């Protein structure tokens, strides 16, 4: 069975922008001292909420752009630049656009539902991931490729859930150095994909034709 190449690039982009390992590291620190059963419940709920948000953006993102009179070439350039900024942060060992700041981390430590904030958003379904799903569904040709992108979203969410469930073991196994290596490699891959979106947007822009 032939698998469209766009499906593979979709998986890589979503995996990098969602960041299962980075999510697991933050999840481990936010849920330290919480009972294992409650941690599992938080992992399920945060993944489900993030999946719903990503699905809404994937299915309704292009319609919303039309209502705002934003062309797909323009959004490809803007989204590519946004993703490239995240790639720079990852490559140079920064926190990335889908991570949380120290202020948000402090807010998350207060009593409340951390499954919604900051786990589902902005950690899992962050600006980079939301931009990526709109860009990826916008370049699909036919229902087969669109279904493939939706399947890649589900696969990345499943990996994120698995990483959160194994967060303690991942933190011990990878350590700071291992997590840093994964982050930098992800940044390089994302930079290439983001640049391609900018090229695609410029190539299909009316004033360049």
Q: pLDDT tens across 86-144, in order?
A: 899 888 866 554 555 566 656 555 545 789 988 999 899 999 999 999 999 998 888 88
**Residue 80 above 50 pLDDT?**
yes
Hey, how many other C-beta atoms are within 10 angstroms of the C-beta on 3? Answer: 10
CA–CA gap between residue 38 and residue 145 (Å, rounded):
37
144 to 2, 95, 140: CA distances (angstroms): 11, 35, 8
CA–CA gap between residue 51 and residue 16 (Å, rounded):
16
Percent of the chain whose predicted confidence (pLDDT) is above 70: 87
Q: What is the pTM of this model?
A: 0.85
What are 152's two structure tokens? 């890649």
Question: What's the mean pLDDT when you consider all of the chain?
Answer: 86
135-153 CB burial, b ≥16 within 10 A, e <16: bbbbbbeeeebbebbbebb
């Amino acid at each position: 069975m032939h698998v469209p190449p766009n499906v593979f690039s979709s998986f890589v982009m979503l995996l990098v922008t969602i960041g299962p390992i980075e999510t697991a590291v933050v999840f481990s620190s936010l849920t330290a001292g919480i009972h294992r059963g409650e941690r599992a419940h938080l992992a399920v709920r945060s993944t489900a909420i993030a999946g719903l948000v990503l699905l809404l953006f994937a299915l309704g993102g292009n319609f919303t752009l039309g209502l705002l009179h934003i062309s797909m070439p323009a959004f490809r350039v803007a989204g590519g630049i946004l993703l490239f900024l995240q790639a720079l942060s990852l490559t140079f060992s920064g926190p990335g656009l889908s991570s949380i700041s120290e202020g948000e981390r402090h807010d998350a430590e207060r009593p409340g539902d951390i499954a919604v904030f900051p786990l589902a958003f902005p950690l899992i379904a962050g600006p980079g991931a939301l931009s990526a799903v709109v860009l990826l569904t916008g370049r699909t040709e036919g229902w087969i490729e669109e279904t493939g992108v939706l399947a890649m979203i589900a696969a990345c969410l499943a990996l994120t859930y698995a990483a959160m469930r194994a967060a303690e073991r991942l933190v011990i196994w990878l350590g700071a150095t291992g997590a840093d290596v994964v982050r930098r490699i992800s940044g390089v891959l994302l930079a290439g994909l983001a640049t391609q979106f900018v090229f695609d947007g410029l190539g299909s822009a009316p004033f360049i034709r």
